[in-house]
Amino acid sequence: MSQKVALVTGGSQGIGKAIAERLVHDGFAVSIVALEQDKIDDTVKELEAKGAKALGIAADVSDRDAVFNAVNETVDKLGDLNVMVNNAGLGPTTPIDTITPDQFKTVYGVNVGGVLWGIQAAHQAFKKLGHGGKIINATSQAGVVGNPNLALYSGTKFAIRGITQVAARDLADEGITVNAYAPGIVKTPMMFDIAHQVGKNAGKSDEWGMQTFAKNIALKRLSEPEDVANAVGFLAGPDSNYITGQTIIVDGGMQFH
């Protein structure tokens, strides 16, 4: 059987990088799409050092054409596409009165636009390749319950759960499943930046900022990126074949629904 291929947006650091590593471990060839060429190159080298077939593409996921080009390049160079992980996102701290039209456009463009274009591009590729596939989208525990200071971000993450449900219904007949993962408070550059900003806005420390989010984690620890990658590995593999339209919350017990 030929090797399965996954594309991970935002795969150059944080959660996306852990997902790429997990999928390589599970036998996938992996394409990572992100913004910074140097981080992409470093991650590709690390994946190759583990024996992976890996490809890195610099592209902005808010640009629909760029996403379609990245998917086409992945199919051309790695020979297939079976799993699309729409993970890239922005997490600015935006107290409600501070939100500007430019910020609105940028954050919705990346967090919602990037997922929509990723779904469309993967769908087109699956059709051309003549098989189904799996689409996996990043939402957040902040897309299950609104979080303080994150009005823009939480709004985009609620939207992703809706889009995931609709796409699951629309694409099911073609053998495509669409699911989402909702991480909690994960030790990545995004979360450290949010903790810093929230602490700074209150005249307090980064740790105080982190605890405003982390104080109610039932399992009493912050998440490692690998905690999330484990759930995505499940959604990308055959054991999740009868699951579609769902959001798996991976937050150590913050939100229950």
Residue numbers in the known binding site for NAD(+) are: 13-15, 60-61, 87, 153, 157, 183-188
CB 115 within 8 A of CB 140: no
Tell me the closest approach of the beta carbon of residue 92 to ligand NAI, in angstroms: 11
State which of positions 95-154 bind ligand NAI (CB under 6 A).
110, 138, 140
Q: Which amino acid is at 128?
A: K
> Which residue out of 108, 153, 181, 242 is catalytically annotated?
153
- 43 binds ligand CC(=O)C(C)=O per the rule CB under 6 A: no
Q: How far is CA 171 from CA 113, 129, 226, in A?
A: 18, 15, 29
Smallest gap, in angstroms, from Cβ of residue 221 to ligand NAI?
13
The per-residue DSSP string of 9-68 comes to: ETTTSHHHHHHHHHHHHTT-EEEEEES-HHHHHHHHHHHHHTT--EEEEE--TTSHHHHH
Candidates 70-78, 108-116, 122-130, 185-193: pick the segment binding ligand CC(=O)C(C)=O (CB under 6 A).
185-193
Strand runs (DSSP E) across 81-175, as ranges? 83-86, 133-138
- Measured in degrees and rounded to the nearest 5, phi and psi for residue 52 equal -80, 155
Token digits of residue 26: 């599970």
Can you tell me the distance from the alpha carbon of 93 to that of 194, in angstroms, rounded to the nearest whole number?
Answer: 6
**Residue from 183, 199, 209, 252 binding ligand NAI (CB under 6 A):** 183
Q: Binding string, 1-40, against ligand CC(=O)C(C)=O, x = CB under 6 A?
A: ----------------------------------------
Catalytic center residues: 153
- Name the site residues for ligand CC(=O)C(C)=O (rule: CB under 6 A): 91, 140-142, 147, 185, 190-191, 194, 213
